[in-house]
Structure 1
Amino acid sequence: MKVFIAISNLTLASQLTLRWLQSGHFPVSNLYESLCFLTWTSTLLQLLIERNYNSPVIPALFTPFSLLTISFASFALPEQLQLTGNLVPALRSSWLVMHVTVIMCSYAALMLGSLLSLAVLFTNVSEELQIRGSSIGIGGFKTNFSNLTKPLVENSSKLFSDAEYLDNLSYRIITLGFLLLTFGLISGAVWANEAWGTWWSWDPKETWALISWLVYAAYLHARITKGWQGRKPALIALFGLFVVIICYLGVNLLGIGLHSYGWFLS
């Protein structure tokens, strides 16, 4: 399975590179390209995780997600949305690469981390589950800080049960996604001010991105200050997954706002 994922990742990287050379701009300018980039990021993240943790849960959750994403891009989108086009003047900026890339990476991390929360819900994780390898190491955790410097695979094999590690891994990935989303929102505000003269316009995409940020901020707040582990934060993460999907696909496919790529109502 790892070989299949690695080949898929390289194939997607080659496709994106060719589209970049063909169009002359970074290939995240329409829904098809962003879905391909999301799949590439997801498969890369899966490969990095599986280097440290060999569990059948990882490919069982991540591989179908990647297959569904690329299948939707290839077979569900109209052909005209899969073509490379010219950028509108506002998108001909170096901010395109930084802002959109960071946002798409945050989506991938948040979605995959939330999918791991689904596994937590179906495992026997007690409410007293203790996170011993916090990626932040602050707040109400009973953390042994010497363990934070040890390899992740050592922690997983010697210190954690499988359920504990899945919960902790989900937390780590969501934390990464939250930080990327925060940076993406800030860079987007700077870009908007440069292009349209306003930091925030309450565009539907901006609004749903803010809602996504608030949901995952609540998730991290519950874990750091309230000491929640296991099923409770997993439910918040799954709600966050639903919100991110609306933010990414729902707004785009309705063809509303500056961030929409059009489809149903366009």
Structure 2
Amino acid sequence: MDLVALQNWLDNASFAVLFFTMLMYWAGAAFPKLSYLPTLGATGMAIGNLCIAALLGARWIEAGYFPLSNLYESLFFIAWGITAMHFVAENMSRSSLVGVVTAPIAMGITAFATLTLPATMQSAEPLVPALKSNWLMMHVSVMLLSYAALMVGSLLAVAFLVVTRGQEIELKGSSVGTGAYRDSRLRRAGSENAALTLSAAQSTDAATAVLTPASETIALTPQRLNLADTLDNISYRIIGLGFPLLTIGIIAGAVWANEAWGSYWSWDPKETWALITWLVFAAYLHARITRGWQGRRPAILAASGFVVVWVCYLGVNLLGKGLHSYGWFF
């Protein structure tokens, strides 16, 4: 089997395996008593990760350069990054529910690359002059890994919003700041909740008690609260991993730009949206670490970051403008 045929087989296999993996994780969430379903899902995710790694390795050998030069290659690299970050998140959370949100996005990316892109875009092509640099591996790989981590963290934030149904809840996790602002906020929130609970307990009207804000904070079951706490914590930690990677990738890109174009920063659409992405997640981390935000507000900010990452990765390249116009591919 030649390398091209091997790649064609591996991209289809990775899609099929990740589709199976998604079904296993979803079925495991629907039927939690079937303990073997999450195990099958984790096995499928590992096989999918290895298939994509083998695909990229075969592509590297065939083309003679690190496979990050077009849309097909970068999509599979992001899918590989998402499957890798899945195991990081699952290991930290000890919850198979992480796969419920990571498996569909990994499967969707491989499906788009395998089934949607024309054959001409899937084939390896010689590098354009701007990409013939050792910075290709450093800059692009780190940027795509950061996108993968930020996507996973953002998806877990979306899952948090779904689990909590938009309610403000008091979390017990350690993924928030410890400054004076947070301490005073928690003391104030605790006194307010105590007063509201007392008023509800003293009320003789059951309907009135149900409608008080105190009852709203305890509407979720303990299991759902524990899950929400886990999702909030792991989302924060994964985003905290992706943000330094994004920072390193932007710095590496600036150095490469100076070598290739004589300027560290040119404000073309790709660079501008990379900065916007950095600012969104910097605001998220700042709010959590120094302002003590937790729960719904930072989750909404992280969820918006998911859209911003996709605009930066793919959306602005569709314009075909700027110094990165040769690759609306990445």
Deviation, 1:88, is 1.6
Deviation, 1:139, is 4.7
2:132 maps to amino acid: R
- From 117, 122, 145, the equivalent of 1:77 is 117
Q: Is the 8 A contact 1:131 1:229 kept in 2?
A: no
1:21 maps to amino acid: I
The normalised TM-score by structure 2 is 0.70
Is 1:197 equivalent to 2:262 in the alignment? yes
Is 1:114 equivalent to 2:154 in the alignment? yes
Tell which structure's C-alpha radius of gyration is larger.
Answer: 2
1:240 maps to amino acid: G
Q: Is the 8 A contact 1:100 1:184 kept in 2?
A: yes
For the aligned residues, what is the CA RMSD? 1.9
Percent of aligned pairs sharing the same letter = 54
1:99 maps to amino acid: H
Is 1:216 equivalent to 2:277 in the alignment? no
Q: Is the 8 A contact 2:93 2:234 kept in 1?
A: no
Q: Which residue of 2 aligns with 1:41?
A: 81
Q: Which residue of 2 aligns with 1:151?
A: none
Deviation, 1:30, is 0.5
Deviation, 1:133, is 4.8
Q: Is the 8 A contact 1:42 1:66 kept in 2?
A: yes
Following superposition of structure 1 onto structure 2, how do residues 22-61 of structure 1 map, counting pairs within 5 Å?
22-61=62-101
1:128 maps to amino acid: E
Q: Is the 8 A contact 2:151 2:306 kept in 1?
A: yes
For 1:64, what is the secondary structure of its paired residue? Answer: helix
Q: 1:172 and 1:51 mapped to 2: Cα distance?
A: 12
Q: Which residue of 1 aligns with 2:22?
A: none
Following superposition of structure 1 onto structure 2, how do residues 1-266 of structure 1 map, counting pairs within 5 Å?
1-124=41-164, 126-133=168-175, 139=179, 161-260=226-325, 261-262=327-328
Q: Number of matched residues?
A: 244
Q: 2:154 and 2:89 mapped to 1: Cα distance?
A: 15
Q: Which runs of 5+ in 1 are unaligned?
A: 143-159
Cα gap change, 1:227/1:28 in structure 2, threshold over 3 Å: closer, same or farther?
same
Cα gap change, 1:133/1:213 in structure 2, threshold over 3 Å: closer, same or farther?
closer
For 2:163, what is the secondary structure of its paired residue? Answer: coil
Deviation, 1:177, is 0.9
Cα gap change, 1:13/1:68 in structure 2, threshold over 3 Å: closer, same or farther?
same
Q: Which runs of 5+ in 2 are unaligned?
A: 1-40, 184-224
Q: 2:125 and 2:270 mapped to 1: Cα distance?
A: 22
For 2:67, what is the secondary structure of its paired residue? Answer: coil
1:259 maps to amino acid: H
1:96 maps to amino acid: L
Q: 2:143 and 2:239 mapped to 1: Cα distance?
A: 13
Q: 2:282 and 2:92 mapped to 1: Cα distance?
A: 27
Higher helix share: 2
1:69 maps to amino acid: I
